[in-house]
Amino acid sequence: MSLLDIYETMDYGPAPESPAAVNAWLDEHERKFGMFIDNQWVSPEDVEYYPSYNPADGEKLADTAQAGQVEVDQAVHAARRAFESWSSTAGTVRARYLYALARNIQKHHRLLAVLESLDNGKPIRESRDIDVPLLARHFYYHAGWAQLMDRELSEYQAVGVIGQIIPWNFPLLMLAWKIAPAIAMGNTVVLKPASYTRLTALLFAEIVAEAGLPPGVVNVITGSSKAGSMIVTHPDVDKIAFTGSTEVGRILRRQTAGSGKKLSLELGGKSPFIVFDDADLDSAVEGVVDAIWFNQGQVCCAGSRLLVQENVAEQFISKLKARMQHMRVGDPLDKCIDMGAIVDQTQWDTVDGWVKTGTTEGGEVFQPDISLPEQGCFYKPTLITNLEPAAETVQEEIFGPVLVSLTFRKPGEAVALANNTRYGLAASIWSDNINLALDAASKVKAGSVWVNCTNLFDAASGFGGYRESGFGREGGVEGLFEYLRPAWQERPRPSFDPAEVSATWSTTTPARPTLPDNGRQSAKELPKVDRTPKMYIGGKQARPDGNYTRAVLGPKGELIGQIGDGNRKDIRNAVEAAHAAHTAKPGWAMRHAYNRSQILYFIGENLDARSVEFAQRLRVMTGQTLKSAQTEVELAVKRLFTYAAWADKFGGSVQETTLRGITVAINEPLGVLGIACPDEYPLLAFVSLMAPAIARGNTVVMVPSQVHPLSATDLYQVLDTSDVPGGVVNIVTGDRDHLTKTLIEHEDVDGVWYFGTAEGSYHTEYESAANMKRTWVNYGIAHDWENDETGAGHEFLHEATQVKNIWVPTGE
């Protein structure tokens, strides 16, 4: 037999990893686990215990407890007690603990990896070489931030007790993404792992104790979604950090609405994998394997929608099918397999159901002719071609090893198809033309974009979604802000009970526009010239659609003016104009930052030129003294200058990841923002909210103070003379809550800022769950607009942007 014959007939032999050490560990615990609270194992007798199975062979691994309200309360109290001292412990001391955690994770690397594979079904190659190394990396990286916090983040404080709920697809990695930044920044946590995969979180808890963390800093409770819900609604939890499905994310958004709890949501995805005709097709095929068959496709950012340029599609698909014939599916502990087991039979059934749906939708299903183990939850890598872009299998997250594929002709069509989804988690773009690839990367709406690579993660780079993939970032400096609050800010604790808030938004009935004795003139005087401000939409003055007018009353109840009473149609028109200004060529966001900054300076200059008139208007409207009105105008001008300055200084940064290449974090605008302004400081607050939004490239629909709107309607004359392109700023006057309701429901509005009542804040957050719009609300708490920190701090820039990370490897 020649060497070539041997080479061609050679098959892989098994290379199993031994589960002995894990079995010994499970036996040590008599295969029964309680919960980890206050650094103690709590094993209540009166709760139920549920089995955890190995999905590869159906064998029971251990039983874990189902937490109830008592255990959740116990864990939250422990975390609260620990918070007092942990948050005031020097960052350099916390860093030591995180460092110890990282070191101990490395000491137990193999045990963690094998247990992860047994519990979840993922290949040992992945848990050993990806999950556990990244787990350690996150603790090292955040040990660094703890070390630097006191100096580099001195304007911030810890948030408090954090409830963390994670899914089953990366049990250890998700735990690291949550716990490491939280405790580094001085918070304490109560973590609930997913029901399918609880065991590695418990092993990690042991490592916490071993590393000597003070009791109560990290608490792990096991339980079902009910226990998760108890954490979410617990009044003493200050923030919820959730990773899981968009469906559950929506529930959590509603449950926390109006409560003042911080919330970050890392949700589902249906990420595009774009192959241009000039790509290295063989590399791209390997990319697809990593994109969709890594972790059996149970990856939130899996490249599950293949988009191939039409002229190479046939060739590419045939290469892909050939590659699929060589994939190995089998025992997760075998070091030579490509794919392990699906986490559970229920998930297997869901995946299989989707493949059947693909067939009924007219798709052609391809599965390679490879063998699967006789028992266990194994599924073949699957490709479905010939589907329509609107097919359910193309639109919905399958969360399994199933790839759907479409074709495109031109780059513009590729981007349009890529963005034709409610999600926005990640994208992978393959082309040998760097200009083309980066152009597509800048246009795809997703939090992570990988150029000629896929599924790269590192603690130094934030990960998170756009649109219904959620909000908030995990990793990178951007991820720290999820666990920080400005030093001046208390946790808002609205005094009302959300359960008692009326189901509908409150609206005010406008005062009659004309009072009987107003404008009476002596016979000798000429009647006054009527001056009724209109709304401002698309750079033009617009009459209210409903032809209703509201009276604007002065401090003594006298009529001082009238404004249009805006309705849904006015908001829709304004959103359309804002959207057009955003997508125009070049849209507002695509203009040079220098140009945006010049326009902001120009607005400031023109406002300053009319400061006397604006001060008079404020005085008459609010009854404040002329001096304080002048101060308000001066501060508004100053704020415009501040954001003119920020317009070209918040673009992003280069992230220092482990990639040999470049990872850039870009602070992108959200898109179209709806902004409802408070009644206090009618000019200053309006400008303080509008300026950061437009400085960072958003287009806005402004709802001015409903009580004192006239300084805002005067301002459009300033905008008109300051080169602000039509549609960048739109002003709709009327009832704040009524107009905000339409903004929040509008599909083309990407974010809503609401500065009004506590109830309005509740409604804004609650209703935003429909399409997971990002919101920023004041919970009815008056803001100190005069102060530079509270009125123009980093929060404003942060709320006006979302971070996109673009990864570009280098090398030949």
Q: Which of 116, 126, 300, 474 is catalytic?
A: 300
Question: In terms of Cα–Cα distance, which of 329, 86, 84 is closest to 185?
Answer: 86
- Catalytic-residue membership of 300: yes
Q: How far is the CB of 721 from ligand NAP (least distance, A)?
A: 45
Phi, psi (deg, nearest 5) at residue 671: 130, -115
Report the nearest approach of ligand NAP to the CB of residue 291 (Å). 14
Binding mask 381-420 for ligand NAP (x = CB under 6 A): ----------------x-x---------------------
Q: How far is CA 381 from the centre of its chain?
A: 30
**Torsion angle in degrees (nearest 10) through CA of 148, 151, 154, 158:** 20
Joined together, the tokens standing for residue 492 give 């808002």
- What mask, x for binding ligand NAP by CB under 6 A, covers residues 300 to 339? x---------------------------------------
Shortest Å, Cβ 225 to ligand NAP: 3
Say whether residue 224 binds ligand NAP (CB under 6 A). Answer: yes
| Residues facing residue 164 across a β-bridge | 191, 241
Token pair recorded at residue 255: 């449950």
> Considering the complex, what minimum distance in angstroms separates the CB of residue 65 from ligand NAP?
13
566, containing H or E segment:
none
Q: How many residues bind ligand NAP (CB under 6 A)?
A: 29
Binding mask 604-643 for ligand NAP (x = CB under 6 A): ----------------------------------------
Please pick, from the candidates 66, 74, 243, 733, the single residue that binds ligand NAP as defined by CB under 6 A.
243
User: In terms of Cα–Cα distance, which of 13, 14, 12, 17 is closest to 124?
Assistant: 17
What residues contact residue 374 under an 8 Å CB cut-off, 6+ apart?
A: none
| Contact criterion met (CB below 8 Å) for 290 and 488 | no
Alpha-carbon distance of 470 to 694, in angstroms, equals: 23
C-alpha span between 121 and 131 (Å, rounded)? 13
Placement of tokens 């992108």 in the chain: 668
Please state the closest distance from residue 298 (CB atom) to ligand NAP, in A. 7
Q: How, if at all, do strands 305-309 and 402-408 pair?
A: parallel
Q: Closer to ligand NAP at the Cβ: 320 or 772?
A: 772
71 in contact with ligand NAP (CB under 6 A): no
295 binds ligand NAP (CB under 6 A): no
Q: Minimum CB separation from ligand NAP for residue 240, in Å?
A: 9
Within 10 angstroms of residue 517's Cβ, the number of other Cβ atoms is 8
Q: Which is nearer to ligand NAP, 117 or 264 (CB)?
A: 264
The strands making up 32-33's β-sheet, listed across from edge to edge, are: 32-33, 60-65, 49-53
The structure tokens listed for 26 are: 């499970």
The answer to whether 391 and 413 are in contact (CB under 8 A) is: no
- Of 98-106, 143-151, 245-253, 375-383, which part binds ligand NAP (CB under 6 A)? 245-253
Task: Out of 123, 268, 358, 498, point to the residue binding ligand NAP (CB under 6 A).
Answer: 268
Contacts of 446 by beta carbon, 8 Å cutoff, 6+ apart: 271, 418, 424, 425, 426, 427, 465, 466, 469, 804
**Per CB under 6 A, does 536 bind ligand NAP?**
no
CA 312 to chain centre: 35
Residue 193: closest CA among 210, 215, 178, 212 = 178
- The nearest distance, CB 302 to ligand NAP, in angstroms, is 8
Q: Per-residue x/- marks for ligand NAP, 665-704, CB under 6 A? A: ----------------------------------------
Of 89, 225, 433, 541, the one binding ligand NAP (CB under 6 A) is 225
Under the binding rule (CB under 6 A), the answer on residue 165 touching ligand NAP is yes
CB of 560 to ligand NAP, least distance (A): 50
- Which region among 159-167, 202-210, 402-410, 525-533 touches ligand NAP (by CB under 6 A)? 159-167
Among 754, 800, 793, which Cα is nearest to 777's?
754
CA 251 to chain centre: 15
From the list 71, 126, 266, 468, the catalytic residue is 266
Measured from the CB of residue 328, what is the shortest distance to ligand NAP in angstroms? 25
> Checking DSSP bridges between strand 402-408 and strand 470-471, what pairing results, if any?
unpaired
- Which residues are within 8 A (CB) of 195 and not within 5 positions of it... i.e. 6 or more apart? 50, 168, 223, 224, 225
Nearer to ligand NAP, 468 or 565 (CB): 468
Binding map of ligand NAP across residues 346-385, x = CB under 6 A, - = no contact: ----------------------------------------
C-alpha span between 401 and 348 (Å, rounded): 10
**Per-residue contact string for residues 445-484; x = within reach of ligand NAP by CB under 6 A:** --------------------x---xx--------------
Q: Which amino acid is at 621?
A: M
- Contact map string, positions 183 to 222, toward ligand NAP, x by CB under 6 A: ---------x-xx---------------------------
Smallest distance, ligand NAP to C-beta of residue 283, A: 26
Kindly give the pairing relationship between strand 470-471 and strand 262-266.
antiparallel
Q: What is the contact surface with ligand NAP in residues (CB under 6 A)?
A: 165-169, 192, 194-195, 224-225, 228-229, 232, 243-245, 248, 251, 266-269, 300, 397, 399, 425, 465, 469-470
Residues with catalytic annotation?
Answer: 266, 300
